[in-house]
């Protein structure tokens, strides 16, 4: 077994080019490629791959360099022309495969930049018959991208001898010329979510522009939002206390005014004393008179004569007595 670690990394693959991929068992550089790495729907419904004849179907590949992320020369993610940037070339475990060492297969996975979607590409051959070795970062260098004849593309642990199906050929087809394919996906699964915002719920926004600003200056933004929150809370508390005091003072003032008005508008017989003889007269009234004397000196009351009665002579006035 040769030492694959000594192979030169393929660092000159152009990310703005669509490539036609095939393998050395079915093709060489002496003529047009007759085979092509194509997507294939497995019986299980999973996405898989086959190296089938070209015919009318065209499946091409774009290599997006991962160097800005991991700074590893020759490390790429692969996008298929049939699925654009939504999915990337990856490895998946298929437990329905009866042969255990063939269960790790090539597949398409939602783009997230994890190691199972990263490939180390090495130069394997001569300058005139350059072939490429594909190893997956998640699986390591002990597994090579291989093809089961007439069947699936998988990661093979068989590295002995000259493995023609593990030697991949590719040729450029056309330029990509699409800014969408310049996106490099980072390892999204390993990125921790940002801490929960401590901002007031009424002022927190989730817009992309605010997120970009927060990323540029997290320290100043967080401290500013915290101070604003404290000031807002203090202002609300003081305002609430003042409001309660104002309401209490207004209620007390209205109560006192109502009570004073009620006292001034008291009933005459309560404010000035009753005219009923059962109550003691005050100095503001005439002195009390003896009831017996008053009745003896008072003239008899007048009565209206009935129309059918004869006139009656009124009695003479009684003798007056001096009050003692």
Residue 141's domain is classified under what CATH number? 2.80.10.50
* pLDDT tier for residue 243 given thresholds of 50, 70 and 90: confident
Q: Is residue 253 part of a domain?
A: no
* Helices assigned H by DSSP within the chain: 67-70, 208-216, 218-264, 268-271, 291-297
Q: Is residue 156 part of a domain?
A: yes
- What is the Cα–Cα distance from 87 to 109, expressed in whole angstroms? 5
pLDDT at 129: 72
Mean pLDDT lowest among 8-17, 112-121, 182-191, 229-238: 182-191
Buried b (16+ CB within 10 A) or exposed e, 152-164: bbbbbeeeeeebe
pLDDT at 89: 96
Are 205 and 130 a contacting pair, CB within 8 Å? no
The 3-state DSSP class for residue 61 equals strand
* pLDDT tier for residue 216 given thresholds of 50, 70 and 90: very low
- What is the Cα–Cα distance from 36 to 244, expressed in whole angstroms? 80
Q: State how far Cα 258 lies from the chain centre.
A: 55
Q: Is residue 115 part of a domain?
A: yes
pLDDT at 313: 56
pLDDT at 204: 36
Percentage with pLDDT > 90 across the chain? 39
Q: Is residue 308 part of a domain?
A: no
The 3-state DSSP class for residue 208 equals helix
Whether 5 has a pLDDT exceeding 70, the answer reads: yes
Mean pLDDT lowest among 16-30, 69-83, 216-230, 238-252: 216-230
Q: Is residue 106 part of a domain?
A: yes
pLDDT at 224: 44
Query: Residue 182 corresponds to which tokens in the numbers above?
Result: 């310049």
Q: Going along the chain, which residue ranges are E strands?
A: 17-23, 35-41, 47-53, 61-65, 75-80, 87-93, 104-110, 119-125, 130-136, 144-147, 153-156, 168-175
312: number of CA atoms within 13 Å, CB side?
11
Q: Is residue 270 part of a domain?
A: no
Q: Is residue 54 part of a domain?
A: yes
| Domain around 131 | 10-188
pLDDT at 272: 44
Q: Is residue 1 part of a domain?
A: no
Buried b (16+ CB within 10 A) or exposed e, 234-270: eeeeeeeeeeeeeeeeeeeeeeeeeeeeeeeeeeeee
| Number of structural domains the chain divides into | 1
Residue 9 per-residue DSSP state: B
286 exposed, middle or buried (CB, 10 Å; 0-12, 13-18, 19+)? exposed
Whether 320 has a pLDDT exceeding 90, the answer reads: no
């Amino acid at each position: 077994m040769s030492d694959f670690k000594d192979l030169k990394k393929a660092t000159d693959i152009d990310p703005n080019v669509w490539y036609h991929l095939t393998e050395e068992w079915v093709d060489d550089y002496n003529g047009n490629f007759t085979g092509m790495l194509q997507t294939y729907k497995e019986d299980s419904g999973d996405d898989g791959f086959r190296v089938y004849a070209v015919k009318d179907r065209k499946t091409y590949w774009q290599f997006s360099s991962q160097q800005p992320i991991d700074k590893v020369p020759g490390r790429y993610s692969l996008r298929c022309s049939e699925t654009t940037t939504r999915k990337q070339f990856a490895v998946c475990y298929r437990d329905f495969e009866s042969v255990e060492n063939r269960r790790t297969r090539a597949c398409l996975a939602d783009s997230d930049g994890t190691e199972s979607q990263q490939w180390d590409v090495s130069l394997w051959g001569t300058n005139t018959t350059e072939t490429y070795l594909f190893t997956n970062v998640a699986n390591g260098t002990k597994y090579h991208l291989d093809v089961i004849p007439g069947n699936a593309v998988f990661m093979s642990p068989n590295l002995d001898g000259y493995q023609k199906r593990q030697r991949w050929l590719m040729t450029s087809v056309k330029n990509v010329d699409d800014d969408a394919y310049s996106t490099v996906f980072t390892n999204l699964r390993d990125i921790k979510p940002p801490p929960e915002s401590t901002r007031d719920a009424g002022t927190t926004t989730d817009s992309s522009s605010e997120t970009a600003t927060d990323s540029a200056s997290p320290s100043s933004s967080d401290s500013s939002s915290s101070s604003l929150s404290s000031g807002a809370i203090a202002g609300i508390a003081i305002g609430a206390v003042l409001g309660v005091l104002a309401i209490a003072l207004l209620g007390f003032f209205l109560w006192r005014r109502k009570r004073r008005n009620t006292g001034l508008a008291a009933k005459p017989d309560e404010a000035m004393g009753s005219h009923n003889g059962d109550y003691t007269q005050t100095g503001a009234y005439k002195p009390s008179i003896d009831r017996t004397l008053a009745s003896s000196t008072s003239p008899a009351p007048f009565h209206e004569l009935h129309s059918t009665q004869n006139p009656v002579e009124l009695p003479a006035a009684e003798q007056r007595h001096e009050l003692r």
